[in-house]
């Protein structure tokens, strides 16, 4: 997981830096900038908010856009929920706040690999993203003027490459492959016609549905025939209580 | 120092948190039927692929409508996917994608 996280740390750092710079240019104070990172913790929504604030868009519109942009977290949360079902409610509530794209991308493969929820691993994954992001917010805010554009260094491709790479790691059969391909195709189609954020949610909803249409037996999917089978890891392991106790 | 937007940040957090927390906090999610759990298992590859695809293939300039963009970023991500598939190493895939994009932009800046 640490090796997989390295690329995301670079990505979070680079764009955290740009966010800090953008926040300064947008007229936010350093406290306001950090408040966004602490309370919202979602890069796309934070960047969008700065743009809207500078254009004088009403708060209600900003809040609606934020909810739309961040609706994809509903899918992440639903995918992790079976793994975390046996945990204390307060612990799950705290874990939910740091559920970012990257934390999900690192935690889900980890859970699937070891066959149970790994709470310290989840917090490590979240910390590897959140801490560099916030530290670089400050660096960007304080001294970001002389920093070269991350896009010139190709760093804008780190995030999609990381997400795609992790998706590849989750593909263990035709069902997952179908979910990924259809999810991507639907997301792009809907994203172009409507909104990119709507496309991501539509792809994330319809891709798995298409995956379910692939017969389990023919698919040879890991854990597809029956969630919780004896030889395949599942959110529940062999025994729901044992599997969730890790 | 202005603190006016701290309230906006709090409200943005308040509209974001339910999407992160509701399924995780929903009681009885572990008792869903196997078909539903299988669907949730497929959400990972589906939504991550969707996120990656939209990030490189859908662009929006300023306030204009979103458009399809097939450029070096898409080719680089495909190359990265091939490397991840071949070497089973996400970091290596990311590195290949970044180097490819940086090289092309250095040779032929937009």
Encode pLDDT of A203-243 as tens digits: 999 999 999 999 876 544 544 444 433 333 445 433 322 22
Look at residue A28 and tell me whether its pLDDT is greater than 90. yes
Please state the pTM of the whole predicted model.
0.77
**Span of A39-43, A189-193, B31-35 with lowest mean pLDDT:** B31-35
Residue among A213, A136, A139, A130 at smallest CA distance from A176? A213
A114 to chain B, closest Cα gap in Å: 15
Residue with tokens 């800046």: B109
Question: CA of A86: how far to CAs of A233, B13, B24, B28, B76, in Å?
Answer: 16, 26, 11, 10, 41
- Report the pLDDT value the prediction gives residue A56, as an integer from 0 to 100: 82
Between β-strands B67-68 and B58-59, what pairing exists: parallel, antiparallel or unpaired?
Answer: antiparallel
Higher pLDDT, B16 or A48: B16
Give the model confidence (pLDDT) of B17-49 as tens digits.
Answer: 999 999 999 888 777 888 988 998 899 899 899
Q: How many CA atoms lie within 13 A of A4 on its CB side?
A: 27
Cβ within 8 Å of residue B57, ≥6 positions away: A188, A191, B68, B69, B70, B74
Look at residue A48 and tell me whether its pLDDT is greater than 90. no
Strand-pair partners of B67: B59
Give the model confidence (pLDDT) of A131-185 as tens digits.
Answer: 999 999 999 899 877 767 777 888 888 889 988 998 998 898 999 999 999 999 9
Mean pLDDT, rounded, of chain A: 83
What is the Cα–Cα distance from B94 to A83, expressed in whole angstroms?
28
Cβ within 8 Å of residue A138, ≥6 positions away: A20, A30, A34
Task: Kindly report the number of other CB atoms within 10 A of residue A142's CB atom.
Answer: 12
Which residue in chain B has the smallest CA separation from A61?
B12
Q: Does the beta-carbon distance from A40 to B16 stay under 8 Å?
A: yes
Question: CA of B42: how far to CAs of A36, A132, A184, B2, in Å?
Answer: 31, 30, 13, 45
- Report the pLDDT value the prediction gives residue A216, as an integer from 0 to 100: 76
pLDDT-above-70 percentage for chain B: 97
Look at residue B86 and tell me whether its pLDDT is greater than 80. yes
Look at residue A27 and tell me whether its pLDDT is greater than 50. yes
- Residues from chain B that touch A55, judged by Cβ atoms under 8 A, are none
Residue among A100, A136, A151 at smallest CA distance from A16? A136
- Report the pLDDT value the prediction gives residue A231, as an integer from 0 to 100: 35
Residue with tokens 């939910």: A96
Residue with tokens 């090796």: A3
B86 to chain A, closest Cα gap in Å: 11
**Which of B2, B6, B20, B29 best probes binding to A when mutated, by most A CB atoms within 10 angstroms?**
B20
Q: Does the beta-carbon distance from B54 to A158 stay under 8 Å?
A: no
What is the Cα–Cα distance from A103 to B35, expressed in whole angstroms?
25
Look at residue A189 and tell me whether its pLDDT is greater than 90. yes
- Report the pLDDT value the prediction gives residue A98, as an integer from 0 to 100: 96
- Report the pLDDT value the prediction gives residue A218, as an integer from 0 to 100: 53
Q: Which two tokens stand for residue B7?
A: 């309230």
Grade residue B60 by pLDDT with cuts at 50, 70 and 90: confident
**Strand, helix or coil for residue B59:** strand
B60 to chain A, closest Cα gap in Å: 9
pLDDT-above-90 percentage for chain A: 49
């Amino acid at each position: 997981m640490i090796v997989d996280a390295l690329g995301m740390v670079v990505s979070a750092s680079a764009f955290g830096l740009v966010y800090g710079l953008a926040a300064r240019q947008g007229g936010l104070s350093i406290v306001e900038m950090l408040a966004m990172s602490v309370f919202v913790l979602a890069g796309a929504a934070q960047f969008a908010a700065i743009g809207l604030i500078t254009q004088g868009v009403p708060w209600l519109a900003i809040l609606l856009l934020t909810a739309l942009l961040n609706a994809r977290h509903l899918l992440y949360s639903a995918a992790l929920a079976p793994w975390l079902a046996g945990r204390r409610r307060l612990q799950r509530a705290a874990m939910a706040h740091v559920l970012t794209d990257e934390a999900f991308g690192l935690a889900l493969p980890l859970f699937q690999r070891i066959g149970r929820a790994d709470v310290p691993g989840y917090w490590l994954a979240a910390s590897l993203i959140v801490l560099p992001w916030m530290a670089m917010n400050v660096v960007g805010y304080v001294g970001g003027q002389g920093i070269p554009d991350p896009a010139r260094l190709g760093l804008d491709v780190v995030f999609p490459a990381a997400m795609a790479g992790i998706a590849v790691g989750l593909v263990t059969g035709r069902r997952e492959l179908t979910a990924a391909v259809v999810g991507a195709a639907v997301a792009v189609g809907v994203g172009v016609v409507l909104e990119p954020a709507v496309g991501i949610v539509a792809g994330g909803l319809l891709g798995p549905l298409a995956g379910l249409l692939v017969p389990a037996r023919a698919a040879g999917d890991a854990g597809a025939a029956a969630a919780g089978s004896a030889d395949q890891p599942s959110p529940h392991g062999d025994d729901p209580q044992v599997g969730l106790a890790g | 120092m202005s603190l006016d937007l701290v309230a906006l940040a709090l409200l943005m957090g308040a509209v974001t948190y339910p999407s992160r927390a509701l399924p995780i906090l929903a009681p009885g999610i572990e008792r869903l039927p196997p078909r539903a759990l299988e669907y949730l298992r497929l959400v990972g590859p589906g939504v991550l692929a969707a996120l990656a695809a939209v990030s490189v293939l859908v662009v929006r300039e300023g306030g204009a409508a979103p458009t399809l963009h097939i450029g070096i970023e898409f080719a680089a991500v495909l190359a990265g996917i091939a490397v991840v598939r071949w070497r089973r190493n996400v970091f290596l895939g990311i590195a290949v994608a970044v180097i490819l994009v940086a090289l092309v932009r250095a040779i032929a800046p937009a």
